Amino acid sequence: MEIIKTEAIGSQIRKVRVKKGITQEEIAEKLSLSQSSYSKLENGEIIIDIERLQEIATILDVPNSDFIPHSDKRDKTQLYSVKGNKIEYFQVDGRKLLKEKNERIKYLEKENNYLRKLLEKHLKVKVK
């Protein structure tokens, strides 16, 4: 797992804020921050905890996942988790993950059929 740098999150926040046409002053006021403190947040000079990230997401009317940088790799899926005030992300190969899940489903279906047959044999009742 790789820890996302606060600069990367700040950069994503800036992109969303600019796209929404909101100034740093406007969002800083809603967060009860000075414009310079908010600027430091976007520049990655201060750590953004999950509560502050959620406040910003609410103000910008987007899910906080919009602030997690995304990869251009088409065969990878990015997952992330929050631990304390750190956001960690990792990539998985989507095709490999799907194959493993399908294999697990097939295994569970076979196990269900086996257990169903056992129940039918011992209970002498048809199980759906």
Written as tens digits, the pLDDT of the chain (128 aa) is: 344 567 888 889 999 999 999 999 999 999 999 999 999 999 988 888 788 888 999 999 998 878 876 644 444 555 556 666 566 655 666 677 778 888 999 999 999 999 999 998 888 888 77
Is domain 2-93 given the CATH code 1.10.260.40 in the classification?
A: yes
* Domain residue extents for the chain: 2-93
21: which residues sit within 8 A by CB, 6+ positions away? none
* The predicted structure's pLDDT at residue 75: 46
